[in-house]
Amino acid sequence: DVKVTQSSRYLVKRTGEKVFLECVQDMDHENMFWYRQDPGLGLRLIYFSYDVKMKEKGDIPEGYSVSREKKERFSLILESASTNQTSMYLCASSSTVTSGGALADTQYFGPGTRLTVL
């Protein structure tokens, strides 16, 4: 089974803090994604990565950065957290090939991190 884990289920931070959200996948997937999900807005792509040390901006990258130093790990960084970054953050991974029970082109999601910025 594909497993995508996220470092925390719930996180409370203060305005101005630097926040790290970690995501790890165990399927050797080359693609990894960070989304945020807000009521009425659905899922919006923040950043994605299609290889180690490669990253591309999604639809809403402002206020965020990412790091992918190893293939299995993709980190989302909030440089200076603000209240409007309170949200559910979802990480996903995918591959272009079908392997080990994981289908090609399908995204596998972690359980999510609900971040509250006070």
Partner 1 sequence: SQQGEEDPQALSIQEGENATMNCSYKTSINNLQWYRQNSGRGLVHLILIRSNEREKHSGRLRVTLDTSKKSSSLLITASRAADTASYFCATERRGSNYKLTFGKGTLLTVNP
Q: Which residues bind partner 1 (CB under 8 A)?
A: 4, 31, 33, 35, 40-43, 45, 48, 50, 58, 88, 90, 92, 94, 96, 103, 105-112, 114
Using the minimum distance from each CB to partner 1, give the nearer residue, 17 or 38.
38
Alpha-helix runs per DSSP H in the chain:
none
Using the minimum distance from each CB to partner 1, give the nearer residue, 77 or 88.
88
- Minimum CB distance to partner 1, residue 2 (Å): 9
The C-alpha atoms of residue 16 and residue 92 are separated, in whole angstroms, by 26
Q: Report DSSP state, residue 7.
A: S
Output the furthest CA–CA distance in the chain (Å, rounded).
42
- Minimum CB distance to partner 1, residue 16 (Å): 27
Using the minimum distance from each CB to partner 1, give the nearer residue, 79 or 103.
103
C-alpha distances in Å from residue 29, one per residue of 14, 74, 99: 33, 11, 10
The C-alpha atoms of residue 20 and residue 93 are separated, in whole angstroms, by 18
- Minimum CB distance to partner 1, residue 52 (Å): 15
- Minimum CB distance to partner 1, residue 18 (Å): 25
